[in-house]
Amino acid sequence: DGNNKGISKAVYRSCSKRDRIGPLKMCDVFWLTTATQNPLAVGQYVNNCSSEKEANVCYQELNIPKCFPVEFKQYLPNINYSHEIERPLRCVVLVALRNIGPGEELFSNYYTIIS
């Protein structure tokens, strides 16, 4: 559920350690901490737009292909909970609706997803 506390954090961290291949991490765990490794992992900082603050980003669902390079999986903030059912790894990416300046707050409509 994207929560960096409690049971959500414990389960995510456990799955990340379970799937590790030697020194290669299979997902990004830095969003659970204050140490940011991936400057593009900002989804948890997006706020809902309002009549005063127009959306400047939107969401798009993305299936990560099986051929995705293993050395880059460490930057994906998602991991499968179980391997019993074969399914693609799904992520949600942010798409800028216009140019966004440094330090500008991110706003989206929580109910809009591009298919």
Tens digits of per-residue pLDDT, 19-48?
Answer: 888 888 888 887 777 776 777 777 767 889
> Does residue 47 form part of some domain?
yes
Which residue in 21, 24, 15 sits closest to 83, CA to CA? 15
114 found inside a domain: no
Lateral strand order in the sheet of 113-114: 89-96, 57-64, 113-114
Mean pLDDT of the chain: 83
Residues 90-113: pLDDT tens digits? 888 889 999 999 989 999 987 765
| Residue 35: domain span | 6-108
pLDDT at 113: 59
Identify whether 113 is part of a domain: no
Provide long-range contacts, Cβ within 8 A and 24+ apart, for 65-70: 70/21, 70/24, 70/26
Closest CA to 26 of 75, 73, 65: 73
* Domains of the chain: total: 1
Asked, for residue 97, whether it belongs to a domain, the answer is yes
